[in-house]
Amino acid sequence: MPADRQRLDAAWSALAELGVTLADLQRDARPAVPTFNEYLPQVLAAAGPGALRAYRSYWQRMTTAWGDLPIDTVTASDIQALQRRIVANTRARRNSRGGRHAGELLIAAARAFFNQAIADGLIEATDSPAHRVGKPRRLPSTRRALTPDELTEINQVARTTGNDTILDALLLRLHTETACRRAGALGLRLQDLDADRGLLQLREKGGTVHWQPISLDLATSLAQHATARGALLPTDALLRYRNGRALTSRRYDELWRRIGRHLPWVAAQGITAHWLRHSTLTWVERHFGYGTARAYAGHTDTTGPATTTYIRADLQAVAAALAAMTGQPHPLAQPIDDDRGV
């Protein structure tokens, strides 16, 4: 039955006299707002692997601070106060920047938390306190491309110290040739290696998946390493300890601590495997241009200048850059033009 206009007008007039708005009625229709302790399991279940790695500890700090409070009762000043406490208590490291990165991550974690609450209809988008707090401006990275002499020193230490020099040397060669991130290396499976064509399938940041050319020498070494250490099924981890267990991030931490003990400048600058990525991509950009370096890095985003649409490099161009860098021919490499010598 169509609504009676006069009755509707009378109802709205009565609500107006009581001071009740449409937003109040909609708020009353929403489900009860949970506390931080009650809602955290739901946020954790909905988060992806990357978000869990980055934000889990900060979400837990939020629940420690406000666990019994409904999530719609926390204010922007509450978040700012928690941010200041986290920054003040951040552990000092050689490459520390006064807790600035921890403060930035807390704001990002809070925004992700309240974005989920908005998506679940628990609060309105305009009610999120985290989005009223500005994130600290990110400072330029201190990472840089390593010099050839520095790379030689690092590789020398890795090959002559430690309890598994074969694994350590293989890791450094892998990161230098592919410019992959640590998570990309740890995620490699036996089926991700195409030793005949010199290719590795990398699954990295943001869920990107791409095939990366590697030298045939490295491909052979990776295949032999996996076989010798018990990789049998296609989904078995490619990189493994001597006892056959899949490699974990702890090996990276120990490797760079050990290198830092032998090379004090490595410890002083906080050098890690990600510096190898900077070194390789810088070399590729200098010799083969931005488009090839972008493809070499596995960047698939479309943000940035519109010209990035027209300077994409293909797999063959990446293979050509690899061949020039390693001095080894690659089956997929395009011939290098005479006027573009390396």
Answer yes or no: are the C-beta atoms of 236 and 214 closer than 8 Å: no
Q: Do 218 and 163 share a domain, yes or no?
A: yes
My answer on whether 17 and 35 are in the same domain is no
Residue 138 inside a domain? The answer is no
Over 80: is that where the pLDDT of 341 sits?
no
CA atoms within 13 A on the CB side of 14: 6
**Are 179 and 103 within one domain?**
no
Instruction: At 228, list the tokens.
Output: 């010798």
Residue 137 lies in a domain: no
Does residue 233 sit within a domain? yes
Nearest to 11 by CA among 2, 22, 1: 22
Inside any domain, residue 315: yes
Is the pLDDT at 311 greater than 90? The verdict is no
Final residue belonging to a domain, choices 132, 164, 185: 132
pLDDT at 252: 96
Q: Is residue 143 part of a domain?
A: no
- Contacts for 248 with CB less than 8 Å, ≥ 6 apart: 186
How far is Cα 161 from Cα 157, in angstroms, rounded to an integer? 6
Same domain for 283 and 188 = yes
Contact of 269 with 306, CB cutoff 8 Å? no
User: What is the CATH number for 157?
Assistant: 1.10.443.10
**Do residues 320 and 253 both lie within one domain?**
yes
Instruction: Compute the radius of gyration of the chain from its Cα atoms.
Output: 26
Q: Give the highest mean pLDDT range of 25-34, 92-101, 214-223.
A: 214-223
CATH number at residue 110: 1.10.150.130
Assess whether 87 and 158 both reside in one domain. no
Q: Which domain holds residue 299?
A: 148-340
pLDDT for residue 339: 45
Residue 220 placed within a domain: yes
- When mean pLDDT is compared across 41-45, 83-87, 209-213, 259-263, the lowest value belongs to 83-87
In a shared domain, residues 191 and 216: yes
Domain for residue 106, yes or no? Answer: yes
For residues 217 and 259, membership in a common domain is answered with yes
Buried-exposed string 119-150: b where 16+ CB fall within 10 A, e elsewhere: eeebbeeeebbbbebeebeeeeeebebbeeeb
**Residue 42, in any domain of the structure:** yes
Q: Where are the beta strands (DSSP E) in 94-173?
A: none
Q: pLDDT digits over 13-72, tens only?
A: 776 777 666 666 555 555 678 999 999 999 999 998 888 988 999 999 999 999 999 999
Together in a domain, 158 and 243:
yes
Decide if pLDDT at 342 tops 50. no
- For residues 291 and 189, the answer to whether their CB atoms sit within 8 Å is no
Based on the fold, state whether residues 164 and 311 are members of the same structural domain. yes
Q: What is the mean pLDDT of the chain?
A: 87
The number of folded domains in the chain is: 3
CA atoms within 13 A on the CB side of 257: 8
Q: Answer yes or no: do 204 and 220 share one domain.
A: yes
159 with 303, same domain?
yes
pLDDT of residue 129: 94
